Amino acid sequence: MSKLTRKQRREQERQKAKATKRPRAVQKYLRQALTHQQGRRFEKATALYERALQMIPDDAEIWNQLGSCLLNLDRLEAATAALTRCIELQPKHAIAHANLGNAAARSGDLTGALAHYKHAKRLAPRFSKPHYNAAKCHAMLQQWHLAVDGYRAALAIKPDYRIALANLAVSLSMIDKPKEALIMARKALELDPLDLVARRALARAQVQLGDRAAADETYAEILQISNSPELVHMREAMAGRTTDAPPAGYARDVFDRFAVSFDHVLDDLEYRGPQLLAAALEKILPPPNADLFVYDLGCGTGRCGHYMKRYARRMVGVDLSSGMLARAEEKGGYDELRCADGLIDLQGVADCDVVISADVLIYVGRVEPLFAAISKSLRTGGLFAFTIESLDYGDVRLEISGRYSHNYDYVASVGAAVGMVPVARSRATLRRELGRPVACDVLVLRREP
């Protein structure tokens, strides 16, 4: 936390005076709790704060400290309850508001988090953390201009705030300000040459400035620090090299991280993949009669389930990411959810009436092996409904977003080669990105005899 205002200092002194009035036994618990907290032994600290609260249950600061420990233990509901109690006792507790924001953000409620950070910022305008955390929420919601404003506000308070510099570089690159992004990334790298966020932002800005060779070199350096599947994949994307498929583990890692906020973010981006596919299928399938075997390939958090359930006698969802599947499980509607690569899982599947795959081929690359497996798993006359991000020239292209776009003629010809012919095709807006619509093709192929 940066310099306190006079008002905040007065409040701190008031708290100190209050603290010295605490019973001796409580003061002892709190000293011990703080030592454990500083040593990251949060279970022990939590137990001591709880004991202290049994003796003085109306001490707002102890509730805040307890909430903060519970947050570190990832006990989000209990943390929220403790922090809410703190605020009931002391409505102007800026840190508790900020902590509540963190609890909401971690549970995926980014809009709720932003409301708490707003309180914290109003109560303690010189407290840099809520500005930074609010900016991160905006970035997750792809509200890049707001993210830029937030990081700048945090940096105005704390100019050497390295992660704010690195993330500002990312957001600036997203709003097409690569020159500024480059400067911010370099500033962050002066503070920590190993900062991966800053290096990735630097590479992206280099691509935007037309220097793919420099970006390739930056990624070569990144891969010396960490060679996770995501970084390996993004190097190819930045260098403009279209691979046949992403490295194993890429989609799983990305979506395990994204799972908690996926539905909030996609709602905010007006994502319509499942609706578009359901509308296309509705025109072809007989009226829903709960009598079909539906296979949701890359089911994610289960958004297609909502639309397909009424058709399904049996509905199976398959996804690489256990994080996403946990959300689908909460939503319900599937008879079975399996954590697997669709390409492998399909080998044990036969007689499907419908295979649906919304916004998944963008993580697959070339589709020949997958289409062959889908064709084998469909009964004659069965349907394969999917979306692709549209590409007008070439077969497949790996974009700098790390997603693949596909040409309609290419996917149609791969389908035809394995006995699946188009029965519906339309162009639509899949969602927004950076405020602009993302075009997709919605396709339904039918398995021929």
Ligand X SMILES: C[S@@+](CC[C@H](N)C(=O)[O-])C[C@H]1O[C@@H](n2cnc3c(N)ncnc32)[C@H](O)[C@@H]1O
Minimum distance from residue 352 beta carbon to ligand X (Å): 15
In b/e form, how buried is each residue of 14-45, taking b as 16+ CB within 10 angstroms? eeeeeeeebeeebeebbebbeebbeeeebeeb
Pair 166, 201: CB distance under 8 Å: yes
Binding of residue 318 to ligand X (CB under 6 A): yes
Interface with ligand X by CB under 6 A: which range of 71-79, 297-305, 378-386, 433-441?
Answer: 297-305
Pair 193, 210: CB distance under 8 Å: no
Nearer to ligand X, 133 or 387 (CB): 387
Binding of residue 304 to ligand X (CB under 6 A): yes
Minimum distance from residue 342 beta carbon to ligand X (Å): 3
Please identify which residue in 60, 135, 324, 349 interacts with ligand X, judged by CB under 6 A.
324
Nearer to ligand X, 89 or 265 (CB): 265
Minimum distance from residue 343 beta carbon to ligand X (Å): 6
The site map against ligand X for 244-263 (x = CB under 6 A) is -------x---x--------
Binding of residue 303 to ligand X (CB under 6 A): yes
Please identify which residue in 299, 414, 430, 443 interacts with ligand X, judged by CB under 6 A.
299
Minimum distance from residue 331 beta carbon to ligand X (Å): 11
Nearer to ligand X, 320 or 388 (CB): 320
Please identify which residue in 253, 319, 389, 441 interacts with ligand X, judged by CB under 6 A.
319
Interface with ligand X by CB under 6 A: which range of 39-47, 144-152, 213-221, 294-302?
Answer: 294-302
CA dihedral 46, 49, 51, 54 (to 10 degrees): -130
Angle among Cα 296, 300, 304 to the nearest 5 degrees reads 50
State the Cα–Cα distance between residues 15 and 89, nearest whole angstrom: 13
Instruction: Determine the residue type at 376.
Output: K
Binding of residue 365 to ligand X (CB under 6 A): no
Nearer to ligand X, 125 or 369 (CB): 369
Binding of residue 359 to ligand X (CB under 6 A): yes
Binding of residue 298 to ligand X (CB under 6 A): yes
Minimum distance from residue 366 beta carbon to ligand X (Å): 12
Interface with ligand X by CB under 6 A: which range of 171-179, 199-207, 284-292, 296-304?
Answer: 296-304
Minimum distance from residue 223 beta carbon to ligand X (Å): 22
- Main-chain dihedrals φ then ψ at residue 343, nearest 5 degrees: -60, -40
Binding of residue 320 to ligand X (CB under 6 A): yes
Please identify which residue in 112, 178, 300, 305 interacts with ligand X, judged by CB under 6 A.
300
Binding of residue 274 to ligand X (CB under 6 A): yes
Size of the site for ligand X (CB under 6 A): 23
The site map against ligand X for 337-356 (x = CB under 6 A) is ----xxx-------------
Nearest position to ligand X, beta carbon: 300
Question: Which chain residues interact with ligand X by CB under 6 A?
Answer: 251, 255, 273-274, 298-301, 303-304, 318-321, 324, 341-343, 358-360, 363-364
